[in-house]
Amino acid sequence: MKDYTASVGFDRRLYRQDIAGSIAHARMLARCGIIADGEAEAIVKGLEEIRTEIEEGRFPWKVELEDIHMNVEARLRERIGPVAGKLHTARSRNDQIALDMRLYTKEVIEEALRGIKGLQRALLDAAEANKGAVMPGYTHLQRAQPVLLAHHLLAYFHMLQRDAERLRDCFRRTDVLPLGSGALAGVPYPIDRETVARELGFSRISENSMDAVSDRDFFVEFHAAAAVCMMHLSRLAEELVLWSSSEFGFVTLDEAYTGGSSIMPQKRNPDFAELARGKTGRVYGHLMGLLTVLKGLPLTYTGDLQEDKEGFFDTVDTLLSTLEVFAGMIRTMKAHADRMRRAAMESYILATDVADYLVRKGVPFREAHGTVRELSRYAQEQGRYLHELTLEEYQRFSGKFEADVFDISLESSIAARDVPGGTAPKRVEEALRAARRLLGEAP
């Protein structure tokens, strides 16, 4: 039965936050005259020694003590005697765990932001290294219009930028000190919450004690931001799986990020990308799990809230490791510009440009669209591409076609998209510089 209710198996990873919060609390109690200075000094010294024990693997964890808080407090009593009992003055495990989780979440948000920035930098480096590479852009996974590979990679840069913005917004609402709320109603001691907030790096204190001990919105927000970020990474993973296949051949992933087959020696499977795609579902599940835990809870604290941590820790581990893996995978990836270009050429990818050609000759777009649809169908029936047709064949479908129709090329198509956010080389150069500025790396 003790195993069923114990959380120390997973919440022990909060030891740094728990001890930091206890040290700040003890110092505040002494400043406010609630405990003696010497007592606070003994408590702080004992807590620092316990932190060292944990980091050196010498701490005697006990399941029967249930959680991180009681394990630390019991060990403190063993080290300094009954004075350890004064540490819990003006505090409850309810506001203590809320503090620990907010401290932890702030730290992992900052770590996730560093991971996002690392992947963004890898994407920019890959884009700049392959600035001239032309590839097919797709809709419905069908070749649609030519784009620059750099333009395609920048799309993921901007997805990640939104992820970073969501996490920064989550940080702002996480950055609230709950300590001092007690079990639910506040505490009957003259405490100084503002000083504790400053010492622990919080920008403000909570405004309602009942809300402070039961609020897990910041957990939900982190889960949601992580789920969206993993969705973006999963989309990139899917493209890497496709692009590295023999059917596409657009990229080769470094062997460090592929796996072999137990019976087929030639295989280089995109295992890391596939695993990221699969792990995304776990993060989604943890978000839904937490929302389900919270949906029927009355104020304030209930034991259900113990179920908020395991999924959260797994989401954190999954997101941070995936960001790190993807930065390495993109940085070591080799792009095959010749194969991308051939895929663009061996298609009807310039059909839209041919329709636009007719529009410039005065043909209404809908009529031009129909004409080129029939022209493309004819070329497909002949087993040829548009650039392989003769002028006479073009003119069977419209007398507006002249010899300059053959000036249409992959390069002219890309250059024509010279609008803000477009794939024209000049616009992509501007976008790369703007992206570097967002990272604080302006040239």
CB distance 223 to 315 below 8 Å? yes
Backbone φ, ψ for residue 15 (5° rounding):
-60, -40
* Cβ-based neighbours of 106, under 8 Å, separated by 6 or more: 171, 174, 175, 201
What is the b/e burial string over 183-199, where b = at least 16 CB atoms within 10 angstroms of the residue's CB? bbebbeeebebeebbeb
Rounded CA-CA distance 387/278 in Å is: 42
CB distance 410 to 132 below 8 Å? no
CB distance 188 to 159 below 8 Å? no
Please report, for residues 4, 250, 356, 386, 394, the alpha-carbon distance to residue 380 in angstroms, rounded to integers and kept in the order given.
67, 24, 20, 9, 14
User: Where do the domains of the chain lie, and which CATH numbers do they carry?
Assistant: 2-89 (1.10.275.10), 94-340 (1.20.200.10), 343-438 (1.10.40.30)
Angle separating helix axes 93-129 and 149-174, nearest 10 degrees:
160
Rounded CA-CA distance 75/18 in Å is: 13
* CA-closest candidate to residue 133, choices 411, 329, 417, 418: 411
Asked if the peptide bond before residue 252 counts as cis, ω within 30 degrees of 0, the response is no
CB distance 29 to 90 below 8 Å? yes
DSSP letter at 20?
H
Alpha helical stretches, state H, 265-345: 271-294, 309-332, 337-345
Type and span of the H or E element at 223: helix 217-243
* Cβ-based neighbours of 65, under 8 Å, separated by 6 or more: 8, 71, 74
DSSP letter at 134?
E
Output the pLDDT for position 259.
Answer: 83
Output the pLDDT for position 329.
Answer: 97
Q: pLDDT in tens for each of the 443 residues of the chain?
A: 677 878 998 999 999 999 999 999 999 999 999 999 999 999 999 999 999 999 999 999 999 999 999 999 999 999 999 999 999 999 999 999 999 999 999 999 999 999 999 999 999 999 999 999 999 999 999 999 999 999 999 999 999 999 999 999 999 999 999 999 999 999 999 999 999 999 999 999 999 999 999 999 999 999 999 999 999 999 999 999 999 999 999 999 999 999 876 677 677 899 999 999 999 999 999 999 999 999 999 999 999 999 999 999 999 999 999 999 999 999 999 999 999 999 999 999 999 999 999 999 999 999 999 999 999 999 999 999 999 999 999 999 999 999 999 999 999 999 999 999 999 999 999 999 999 999 998 66
pTM as predicted: 0.94
Q: Is 266 helix (H, G, I), strand (E, B) or coil?
A: coil
Type and span of the H or E element at 146: strand 142-148
Quickly list DSSP for 162-218: HHHHHHHHHHHHH-EE-TT-TTTT--SS---HHHHHHHHT-SEE-S-HHHHHH--HH
CB distance 19 to 75 below 8 Å? no
Output the pLDDT for position 250.
Answer: 97
Q: Is 75 helix (H, G, I), strand (E, B) or coil?
A: helix
Catalytic (active-site) positions: 140, 261
Type and span of the H or E element at 144: strand 142-148
Rounded CA-CA distance 90/186 in Å is: 8
Pairing mode of beta strands 176-177, 334-335:
unpaired
Please report, for residues 23, 123, 141, 201, 276, the alpha-carbon distance to residue 155 in angstroms, rounded to integers and kept in the order given.
46, 10, 16, 35, 19
